[in-house]
Each structure stands twice: as structure tokens, then as C-alpha cells.
């Protein structure tokens, strides 16, 4: 097409006769081959960062960059990775003692930190980890564009700069700009697709079987979720290539065999991460994911238009106008074999239809219902559009065909202009970007006879992709920021720095835990601030943790996969919390306090049952503590549904606490300050000291329809009784506790036996030197009389079988490589 003949450096041509040694030629050839990928890399990274700069977002301005889970999960997990690499983590890659009172970490690493570029975070000072996390996005998108450029060259030869421009349209596809731009681990799937495309070509060429297996492993190590989708797309690519190439039946069978065996071997290599993640997912707290509901057809088609950003769980399928015009011209391009055009067109239609059909949607997502946007696999469609665009470009499309494709794009935009949330920048992208793209492609065709036009066409193609993608990225960012859940927040500022300093100032691990307080910057504040409290947010938070913490009055959300703290001294005693940080009186300030706490391992010599009402949260806390410390009085209710009043009597001087997980609004006692009630997020809430009259009057302003606080929402804490209980647990508990990366050892006082209770939840994977014993969801072991030492080790379920599978895969790779070398020598 305006395509000039492929440059000699892009094909494996050899001179007809040797002309002497040329020692620099291999280096020159490598540099030449890298020009296309580098162009794609810089266009992609430049356009995305230009959009950041245009929006004034960090680091190009003061507007926060972190959206939703990027702030709550990804930045804190990368800070945990920094701590792990720099030897400052309370735990190791298998287990973390920070967050959730101790949780597995291997599955979280594989899911949230598997992107190889995540390791950029360990190369910067900890205070700038968030900047490294943001940089992972453009770097990964640029890498995807570069790898796609290499893959396009394997499908059909052509000028390096043309492949580079189309590679950039893939790296800047709608899915990358809208869905995955703030989810760094998903973006690895964007890299995995062309990686696996290269692997498909090697299978068809019947070479580099170990290389195919290693590419599959690299894809799945980065992120198994989107790699699974990319692997399914690779199966589609393999079917297309076998249908469009001249191959015998035997050759097709051999290609299938090589692809199947190499894929299985590559996935086996990732089994030490994949199998524990799979089993952790099965043991996680269940969520209430809704059934898949396809969007209307006009909304689906609108997602193919450039620079659109549809709200909510909508498909983002577009690439830049240049790619769309070329893809439209592909079907009309008679220079491409008819069978090739029909097969590719049918495959694109079938893949698009599969996104709308519930059974195939479930297949794309591994037979699971996505919790969130269900169109997470749409980068596959965008990749296929870019491939057919390249096949059209490499076969010199006619200006008439290009004009027809551009006209069809304009007509589709006009028809879909009234679709919900039709993008304001879509018309400029279609008319402006489409016109410049069409002009560049026509000039490229004319450049076959007028060579001076080719640089002009190249500049126009590069410029239009850069400009249109910058606008699309800025538009997606701006429109997403209008959504309540996607308000960008800061991940580093003066308040967060002071919060971190306050936590470190009272840290005492492992003598006691430090609670960072209610989340201020992220749901995973414990990881981000190096605390050891209950705060934790992970898709793998075990059901066992939920069942242990929820009855005790800890706040939670996301169906129990996110836990918050509770400012309650009884819970502090149960979980060995000896320091707490709270917001200060002045803005951006924090106050810290220390108080006595039992050791991480305590000993209970006899069962205990609270005398308070068994269905109250206060009785459940006492059962775990092993002492009576609350007074739980009956309450009388009055007032209207929106402003409920409750009255009760408690011992003067005791501390009143409130627990009403069914209500949303505010609560206050005796005219005191209002405290937020956020349904189940609030947890047990302090109300203040009971006055001398002993009467406690509570007012609840709520927006929850037809709900009340329950039978026993009020509990009054006797501080002196609690102090006695803490001193008893300390005196009878472990004299020394030594938590390791994923182990804990304790030296116990000589006793007549009983139950050793470790202040962590009994998540699957613990093995101890004594038999495990149920204890209100906490990790506990039965102590034979005279036991003075205790040790426990955490091993993620599936780790050992996974290591065995990976070892088998390595042996297979070594055997195949050895046999290949022997054959070559013979």
C-alpha cells in the first residue's frame, strides 16, 4: 500500500556471493529490527503521558491519579513488595503479618504484583512507590505495542515504521485507555496476546518448541486472568492461520500437537503460583456477583467508535481511526486472498458475538461471573482489528476502498450518535482523525511513484495516532473521574507521610501490634503504613477470616473481602494490639498512643462462656477474651424511623459502645459528637463515658428504611475488668514469641495444659507442632501438659504440588532441548 517495498533489513535476505567479513552487520541488523518496536513504544508511552499532562494529573500536576482499587489495593501492595525486597516486611512472599491479622501473600503477589514491570517499584525510594506504580501503566502499554509490532512483522513483511504505528494503535486501544489504565496487572494481558501470537507462528513453523513454552509461561506469570483470555485468543489465531495457510492435514496436526504440549508445559511452569491462587480463590469469602446482562446492540457497536467512553460495565472495543479505516478496507482488498479475507472477517464477527452471548462470555472469563465490568476480554477484539489492519496496509489498499471504509465509519458514527453517553470527542476523532488518516494512506499509495510523499505520509500517520489517542485517553480519564466510585485520590502527601511517621513512632512488632486506625488513604492502610491491624482488602481474603472477624464487630464491605479496624479496647486485647494511631485535632496531623497488650500467643486453661446475651457482639468478644468485661443492658426504642432514639442504663464511669450493622447514618449519645454509621463498614463504635446518672440516651439518624439497631446494640465496658483480663493473659501467655516470614514460635510458661491461642485467624494452610483446635475462628492448638514450646508454619495450599508440576515442566524442557541439540549435531 503506500507501502513501499519492504526494506531489505526486514527480510532474511542474504547476498548472492560473500564479500568478506562484516563483523558489525549482526549489530546493525538488530538495531534496524528494533526501530519498529521502539517507535511503537514511544508513540504509546508519549500519547498516554501527554493525556496525563493535559489533565494535570500526578506527576504532571496536583490532581490525584489513583482510582478506586489503584489506591486501595495496587499502590499498597507495591509498597508491601518494596518492604519485602528491602527486608522491612513483617512476613515473606508466602505470608504477611501486616493486614487482616496475618494473611497469605503468594496469591496476592501473583494477582496484583505479577506484572514484571511492577518491580520498578522496588527501584525507587519508598515514598515514591506510587509514582512507579503509575509508570507501570504506560511502560506496559508501550511494551505491548512493541511486541505487537514484532508479531505483525511475522505475519507479513513490511516497512518498520508502518508496523510501529499500527503496533501503537494496539497499545492505545480503548480497553487499555479505559478499563485497564489503572489496573497494572491486567495490562500484562495486552502484552501476552502478541507474545502468544509469536508462539503460534513458531508452532506453525515447527520450531522453537521450548521457546513457545517459555512465552506461555511468561504470559501466565504476569497475570493469569488476562493471560487466560490471551491464550484463548491465541487458539483463535492458530485456527485462523491454519485455515489461511497452505498446509497438509499432517502439518496441521503437528502444529496443534506442538501448541497443545508447549502450552501445557508453559502453564505447568507457573503452577507454584497458579495452583495456590486457584485454591485461595476457592477458599475466599464468596461475593454476590450478578449474572451477565449483555448491553444493547447499539451500545456495543458504539464501543467500537474511537474516543468513546461509555459508563459502567460497557465494552471498549475501539482502536484509532487509522486502524479502523484499514480494517474496513481489508475485506475489499483484492490483493489479499479471498479465503484469507473471509476467514478473518468471520473470526472477527464470531469473536465480537461471543462477547454478547452469556455461555461464551463465561468461557472467556474462566467460567466465572466477573465482579465488575463483564467486558474484560475486549482487548482481544482490538488486537484482531489491528492484525487485519496490518494485512490490509501491507497489501497496498486502494484509495477507493479506503474512502469507502472511512465513509462507513462516518455513517456508523452518525447512526450511533444518540447512544447513551456518546463521547463528545468521538466526532472530532472520526472526522478529524479519520480525514488525516485517509489523507496519509492516500499519500502513502501515491508515494510508490513520488517517494518524497512517503515521509509526509509517515509524519501524518504518526501524528494522527498520537493526537487522537491522547485525546481519547484524556477523555476517558475525565469522564471516568465524574463517576462517584472513580474520584482520583492522592497516594502521597503531607497527611499520608505524617500518618506513616506516627505509625512507625509507636511500632513494637512482634511484642505487640500497631493499628493504623480507620482507613484514610487506602483500604490496605496496614500494608501501606507498615501496621499490623485488621485492615485488608483482597480478592483472596479467606472465608475463615470473615467468619472469625465479622462476629466480633469489625466493619467490612465488598461482601466481606475488605475489613476495616474498630476502635475497641477489647478487640485490641484479643489481637495483641498495643498501639493505635488516630487523626489529630489539626488537619494532616496524627496522634499515637501505647497501652498494655497481651502477647501474640496466650494460653487458656478452661472454656469460658459469657453471661451476657449470646446473640450480642459483646458476648462474642468476651467468649474470645475469656473474661466478663461488658454490661449489656436492655434498651428501649422510640422516635420516628429516620431519627430513632434508644435509652438504657449502665454503670456510671463505664465506656459505652454501639453496634448496629443494619443502619446507615449517624449515631450520638447524650448530645455528644455524631459518629458515622455506614452499614456494616462501621463496626463497633465508641460513644463516650457513661454519665453519673447512669442513663445513656442514643440518637440514630438513619436513611435505612424499615431497619433498627437490633436487640442488643449497646454495651458498656468496665475498663478495670478489662485491665485485669489483660494482665492475666499476659502473665499466663507466652514468655517469648518469634514470628518468622511464614512461621511463628513461642516459649510458654510451664503449665498443666490447655489451649494456646495465636492472635491470627485460622486460615487454611497452617500446621503446628500440636494438634489444631477450634477457637472462635482463631488459630489455636491443644497443649498437652508440660508443653513449653510451640511452633506453627504456614504453607499455601497447592504450593508443593505446584512445585512438583513446575519441576516436571523444567525436566521436559531440558529433555526436549537436549534432544534437539543432539539431532542438530547428527
Q: In this predicted structure, what is the pLDDT of residue 624?
A: 97
- Confidence grade of residue 368 (pLDDT, cut at 50, 70, 90): confident
Q: Report residue 272 as a C-alpha cell.
A: 507454584
Q: In this predicted structure, what is the pLDDT of residue 15?
A: 37
Confidence check: pLDDT of 518 > 90 = no
Whether 200 and 76 have beta carbons less than 8 Å apart is answered as: no
Tell me the C-alpha distance between 126 and 809, whole Å.
Answer: 37
Cα angle at 132 between 197 and 42, to 5 degrees?
50
Give mean pLDDT, residues 244-256.
94
3-state SS assignment for residue 24: coil
From the list 635, 657, 656, 645, the residue with the least C-alpha distance to 699 is: 645
Give phi and psi for 515, each to the nearest 5. Answer: -100, 125
Helix, strand and coil in the chain, % to nearest 5: 50, 15, 35
pLDDT single digits (tens) 586-606: 989 999 999 999 999 999 988
Identify the DSSP state of 429. I
Whether 646 and 636 have beta carbons less than 8 Å apart is answered as: yes
Tell me the C-alpha distance between 280 and 823, whole Å.
Answer: 44
Please state, rounded to an integer, the average pLDDT across all residues of the chain.
Answer: 91
Confidence check: pLDDT of 310 > 80 = no
Give phi and psi for 436, each to the nearest 5. Answer: -65, -40
Tell me the C-alpha distance between 208 and 238, whole Å.
Answer: 16
* 289 vs 174, higher pLDDT: 174
What domains can you pick out in the chain, each with its CATH number? 630-717 (2.60.120), 727-794 (no CATH)
Confidence check: pLDDT of 20 > 50 = no
- Confidence grade of residue 313 (pLDDT, cut at 50, 70, 90): confident
Strand order in the sheet with 590-594: 513-515, 577-583, 590-594
Confidence check: pLDDT of 655 > 60 = yes
The fraction of the chain above a pLDDT of 70, given in percent, is 95
Q: In this predicted structure, what is the pLDDT of residue 127?
A: 93
Cα angle at 239 between 406 and 809, to 5 degrees?
125
Give mean pLDDT, residues 456-471.
96
Helix (H) or strand (E) holding 745: strand 743-747
Whether 320 and 172 have beta carbons less than 8 Å apart is answered as: yes
- Confidence grade of residue 29 (pLDDT, cut at 50, 70, 90): low
From the list 584, 580, 585, the residue with the least C-alpha distance to 568 is: 580
Q: In this predicted structure, what is the pLDDT of residue 16?
A: 39
Whether 490 and 496 have beta carbons less than 8 Å apart is answered as: yes
HSE-up of 487 (CA within 13 Å, CB side)?
4
- Confidence grade of residue 4 (pLDDT, cut at 50, 70, 90): very low
pLDDT single digits (tens) 423-444: 778 999 999 999 999 999 999 9
* 419 vs 437, higher pLDDT: 437
Give phi and psi for 586, each to the nearest 5. Answer: -90, 155
Whether 573 and 597 have beta carbons less than 8 Å apart is answered as: yes
Q: Mind giving me the DSSP string for 73-103?
A: IIHHHHHHHHHHHTT--SB-SSEESSSTTSE
Bridge partner list, 556: 563
Confidence check: pLDDT of 50 > 80 = yes
**40-to-30, 48, 63, 163, 317 alpha-carbon distances in Å:** 16, 12, 28, 8, 20
Q: Classify each residue of 609-647 as buried b or exposed e, where b means 16 or more C-beta atoms within 10 Å of its C-beta.
A: ebebeeebbbbbbbbbbbbbbbbbbebeeeeeeeebebe
pLDDT single digits (tens) 765-821: 999 999 999 999 999 999 988 889 999 999 999 999 999 999 999 999 999 888 878
pLDDT single digits (tens) 526-551: 999 999 999 999 999 999 999 999 99
What's the first-to-final CA gap in the chain, in angstroms?
Answer: 45
Q: In this predicted structure, what is the pLDDT of residue 11?
A: 35
Q: Report residue 564 as a C-alpha cell.
A: 476495616
Confidence check: pLDDT of 490 > 70 = yes
Tell me the C-alpha distance between 380 and 170, whole Å.
Answer: 10
Confidence check: pLDDT of 19 > 60 = no
- Confidence grade of residue 700 (pLDDT, cut at 50, 70, 90): very high
- Confidence grade of residue 14 (pLDDT, cut at 50, 70, 90): very low
- Confidence grade of residue 26 (pLDDT, cut at 50, 70, 90): low
Give phi and psi for 777, each to the nearest 5. Answer: 85, -5
- Confidence grade of residue 8 (pLDDT, cut at 50, 70, 90): very low
Q: Tell me the whole-structure pTM to 2 decimals.
A: 0.92
3-state SS assignment for residue 772: strand
Whether 617 and 652 have beta carbons less than 8 Å apart is answered as: no
Tell me the C-alpha distance between 710 and 343, whole Å.
Answer: 64
* 8 vs 544, higher pLDDT: 544
Identify the DSSP state of 70. I
Tell me the C-alpha distance between 80 and 755, whole Å.
Answer: 33
- Confidence grade of residue 25 (pLDDT, cut at 50, 70, 90): low
3-state SS assignment for residue 11: coil
Tell me the C-alpha distance between 535 and 528, whole Å.
Answer: 10
Q: In this predicted structure, what is the pLDDT of residue 28?
A: 62
Give mean pLDDT, residues 466-480.
91
Give mean pLDDT, residues 755-761.
96
Amino acid at each position: 500500500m503506500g507501502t513501499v517495498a519492504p526494506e531489505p533489513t526486514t527480510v532474511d535476505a542474504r547476498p548472492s556471493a560473500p564479500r568478506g567479513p562484516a563483523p558489525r552487520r549482526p549489530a546493525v541488523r538488530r538495531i534496524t529490527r528494533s526501530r519498529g518496536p521502539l517507535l511503537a513504544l514511544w508513540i504509546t508511552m508519549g500519547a498516554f503521558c501527554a493525556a496525563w499532562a493535559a489533565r494535570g494529573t500526578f506527576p504532571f500536576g496536583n490532581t490525584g491519579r489513583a482510582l478506586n482499587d489503584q489506591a486501595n489495593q495496587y499502590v499498597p501492595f507495591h509498597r508491601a513488595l518494596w518492604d519485602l525486597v528491602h527486608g522491612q516486611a513483617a512476613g515473606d512472599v508466602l505470608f504477611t503479618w501486616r493486614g487482616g491479622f496475618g494473611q497469605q501473600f503468594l496469591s496476592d503477589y501473583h494477582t496484583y504484583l505479577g506484572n514484571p514491570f511492577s518491580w520498578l517499584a522496588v527501584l525507587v525510594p519508598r515514598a515514591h512507590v506510587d509514582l512507579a506504580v503509575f509508570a507501570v501503566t504506560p511502560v506496559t502499554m508501550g511494551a505491548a505495542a512493541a511486541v505487537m509490532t514484532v508479531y505483525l512483522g511475522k505475519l507479513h513483511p513490511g516497512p518498520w515504521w508502518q508496523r510501529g504505528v499500527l503496533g501503537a494503535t494496539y497499545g492505545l486501544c480503548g480497553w487499555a485507555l479505559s478499563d485497564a489504565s489503572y489496573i497494572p496487572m491486567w495490562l500484562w494481558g495486552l502484552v501476552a496476546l502478541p507474545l502468544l501470537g509469536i508462539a503460534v507462528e513458531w508452532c506453525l513453523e515447527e520450531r522453537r518448541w521450548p521457546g513457545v513454552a517459555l512465552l506461555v509461561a511468561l504470559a501466565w506469570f504476569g497475570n493469569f486472568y488476562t493471560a487466560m483470555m490471551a491464550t484463548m485468543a491465541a487458539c483463535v489465531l492458530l485456527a485462523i492461520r491454519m485455515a489461511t495457510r497452505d498446509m497438509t492435514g499432517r502439518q496441521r496436526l503437528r502444529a496443534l500437537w506442538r501448541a497443545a504440549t508447549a502450552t501445557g508445559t508453559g502453564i505447568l511452569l507457573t503452577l507454584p503460583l497458579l495452583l495456590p491462587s486457584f485454591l485461595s480463590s476457592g477458599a475466599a469469602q464468596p461475593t454476590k456477583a450478578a449474572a451477565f446482562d449483555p448491553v444493547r446492540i447499539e451500545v456495543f457497536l458504539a464501543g467500537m467508535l474511537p474516543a468513546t467512553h461509555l459508563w459502567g460495565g460497557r465494552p471498549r472495543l475501539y482502536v484509532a481511526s487509522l486502524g479502523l479505516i484499514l480494517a474496513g478496507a481489508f475485506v475489499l482488498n483484492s490483493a489479499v486472498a479471498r479465503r484469507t479475507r473471509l476467514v478473518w472477517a468471520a473470526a472477527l464477527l464470531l469473536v465480537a458475538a461471543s462477547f454478547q452471548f452469556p455461555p461464551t462470555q463465561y468461557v472467556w472469563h474462566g467460567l466465572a461471573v466477573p465482579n465488575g465490568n463483564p467486558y474484560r476480554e475486549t482487548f482481544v477484539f482490538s488486537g484482531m482489528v489491528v492484525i487485519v489492519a496490518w494485512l490490509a496496509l501491507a497489501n497496498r489498499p486502494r484509495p477507493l476502498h479506503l474512502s469507502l471504509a472511512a465513509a462507513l465509519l462516518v455513517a456508523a458514527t452518525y447512526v450511533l450518535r444518540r447512544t447513551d453517553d456518546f463521547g463528545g470527542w468521538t466526532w472530532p476523532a472520526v472526522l478529524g482523525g479519520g480525514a488525516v488518516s485517509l489523507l496519509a494512506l492516500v499519500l502513502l499509495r501515491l508515494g510508490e511513484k513520488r517517494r518524497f510523499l512517503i515521509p509526509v505520509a509517515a509524519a501524518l500517520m504518526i501524528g494522527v495516532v498520537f493526537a487522537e489517542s491522547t485525546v481519547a485517553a484524556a477523555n476517558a480519564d475525565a469522564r471516568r473521574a465524574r463517576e462517584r466510585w472513580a474520584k482520583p485520590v492522592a497516594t502521597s502527601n503531607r497527611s499520608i507521610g505524617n500518618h506513616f511517621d506516627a505509625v512507625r513512632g509507636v511500632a513494637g512488632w512482634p511484642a505487640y501490634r500497631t493499628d493504623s486506625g480507620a482507613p484514610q488513604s487506602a483500604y490496605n492502610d496496614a500494608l501501606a503504613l507498615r501496621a499490623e491491624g485488621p485492615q485488608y482488602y483482597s480478592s483472596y481474603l479467606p472465608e475463615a477470616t470473615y467468619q472469625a472477624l465479622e462476629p466480633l464487630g469489625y466493619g467490612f464491605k465488598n461482601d466481606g473481602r475488605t475489613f476495616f479496624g474498630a476502635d475497641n479496647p477489647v478487640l485490641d486485647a484479643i489481637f495483641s494490639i498495643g498501639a493505635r494511631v488516630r487523626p489529630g485535632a489539626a488537619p494532616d496531623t496524627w496522634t499515637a498512643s501505647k497501652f498494655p497488650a497481651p502477647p501474640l500467643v496466650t494460653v487458656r486453661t478452661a472454656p469460658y462462656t459469657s453471661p451476657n446475651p449470646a446473640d450480642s457482639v459483646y458476648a462474642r468478644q468476651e467468649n474470645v477474651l475469656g473474661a466478663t468485661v461488658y454490661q449489656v443492658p436492655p434498651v428501649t426504642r422510640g422516635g420516628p424511623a429516620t431519627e430513632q432514639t434508644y435509652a438504657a442504663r449502665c454503670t456510671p464511669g463505664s465506656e459505652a459502645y454501639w453496634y448496629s450493622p443494619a443502619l446507615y447514618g449517624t449515631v450520638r449519645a447524650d448530645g455528644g459528637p455524631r459518629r458515622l454509621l455506614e452499614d456494616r463498614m462501621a463496626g463497633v463504635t465508641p460513644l463516650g463515658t457513661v454519665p453519673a446518672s447512669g442513663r445513656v440516651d442514643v440518637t440514630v439518624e438513619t436513611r435505612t428504611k424499615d431497619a433498627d439497631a437490633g436487640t442488643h446494640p449497646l454495651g458498656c465496658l468496665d475498663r478495670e475488668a478489662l485491665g485485669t483480663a489483660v494482665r492475666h493473659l499476659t502473665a499466663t501467655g507466652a514468655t517469648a514469641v518469634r514470628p518468622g516470614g511464614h512461621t511463628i514460635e513461642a516459649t510458654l510458661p510451664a503449665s498443666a495444659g490447655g489451649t494456646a491461642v495465636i492472635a491470627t485467624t485460622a486460615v487454611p494452610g497452617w500446621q503446628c507442632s500440636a494438634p489444631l483446635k477450634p477457637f472462635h475462628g482463631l488459630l489455636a492448638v491443644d497443649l498437652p501438659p508440660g508443653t513449653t514450646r510451640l511452633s506453627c508454619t504456614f504453607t499455601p495450599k497447592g504450593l508443593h504440588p505446584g512445585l512438583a508440576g513446575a519441576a516436571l515442566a523444567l525436566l521436559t524442557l531440558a529433555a526436549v532441548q537436549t534432544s534437539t541439540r543432539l539431532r542438530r549435531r547428527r
